[in-house]
């Protein structure tokens, strides 16, 4: 049987999903991991069948189908999507935007316009931009490195927290999307694998804490990240698309 090509995110917040896939579906899936914006590119080019993609690109993907009731989301502080600066954000002249996620970049733009009412110069970053974030130059950091880099700065703006302040809603960063027609059995098995990974969160935490000694993995995976793509998150996603279109 030809394996389904599935692409997952290489970040800590996706480890429960990957744990479930590896334990229950290794014989059905050819799994790769990348940073979010790269996954979006692979899915749009149909290089993979299924991917956990940034929600900002889903409307751009032809014949895409959300195949899961699981996502990467938060309800308030997310901890791993932050704008960092040496000065208050209203004094920042420019902001480097992390190249690894389109959703976080778009969320930054939505918050700058609708929440902070600011219009700094925005720079599409490339690898190594972390070294440029100093003085009146701020930076958007996402993923695992955000958990570490934010400790260096006096001013840290958590985008999940700021979105919650603006909207009173949770937020969704990424969803599982397919561009290939899949059997209902495969979709069911995949969701069961995700549920298995979340059910075995304790094992995931113990394994990952060894890889991230400077991060409180339990707090991050159980208190900051939310995995259920529920009605409130769908409402939030609709609002995010509306604000982004403006």
pLDDT for 10 equals 86
Could you read off the pLDDT tens digit of each residue along the chain, which spans 246 residues? Answer: 689 999 998 899 999 999 999 999 999 999 999 888 788 888 888 899 999 999 999 998 888 899 999 999 999 999 999 999 999 999 999 999 998 888 999 999 999 999 999 999 999 998 889 999 999 999 999 999 999 999 999 999 999 999 999 999 999 999 999 999 999 999 999 999 999 999 999 999 999 999 999 999 999 999 999 999 999 999 999 999 999 998
SS (H, E, C) 48-112: CCEEEEEHHHHHHCCCCEEEEEEEEEECCCCCCEEEEECCCHHHCCEEEECCCCHHHHHHHHHHH
Give the pLDDT confidence score for residue 1 in this predicted structure: 62
- Judge whether 4-73+170-245 and 81-167 match in fold: yes
What is the assigned CATH class of domain 81-167?
Answer: alpha beta
User: From CA 141, how far away is CA 104, in angstroms rounded?
Assistant: 9
Q: Check residue 151 and give its pLDDT.
A: 94
Confidence at residue 97, expressed as pLDDT on a 0 to 100 scale: 96
Each domain of the chain, given as residue ranges in start order, spans 4-73+170-245, 81-167
| Homologous superfamily (CATH) for 4-73+170-245 | Periplasmic binding protein-like II (3.40.190.10)
């Amino acid at each position: 049987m030809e394996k389904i090509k599935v692409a997952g995110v290489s970040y800590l917040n996706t480890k429960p999903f990957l744990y479930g896939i590896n334990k229950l579906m290794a014989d059905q899936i050819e799994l790769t991991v990348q940073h979010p914006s790269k996954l979006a590119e692979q899915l749009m080019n149909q290089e993979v069948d299924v991917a956990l993609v940034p929600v900002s690109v889903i409307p751009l993907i032809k014949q895409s189908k959300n195949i899961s009731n699981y996502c990467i989301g938060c309800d308030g502080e997310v901890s791993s999507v932050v704008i960092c600066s040496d000065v208050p954000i209203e004094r920042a002249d420019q902001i480097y935007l992390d190249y690894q996620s389109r959703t976080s970049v778009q969320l930054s733009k939505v918050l700058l316009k609708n929440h902070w009412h600011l219009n700094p110069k925005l720079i599409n970053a490339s690898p190594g931009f972390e070294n440029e974030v100093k003085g009146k130059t701020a930076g958007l950091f996402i993923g695992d490195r955000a958990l570490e880099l934010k400790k260096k700065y006096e001013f840290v703006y958590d985008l999940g927290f700021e979105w919650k302040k603006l909207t009173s809603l949770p937020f969704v960063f990424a969803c599982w999307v397919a561009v290939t027609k899949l059997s209902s059995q495969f979709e069911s098995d995949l969701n069961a694998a995700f549920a298995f990974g979340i059910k075995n969160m304790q094992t995931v935490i113990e394994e990952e804490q060894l890889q991230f000694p400077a991060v409180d993995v339990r707090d991050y995976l159980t208190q900051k990240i939310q995995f259920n793509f529920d009605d409130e998150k769908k409402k939030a996603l609709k609002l995010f698309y509306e604000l982004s279109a403006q």
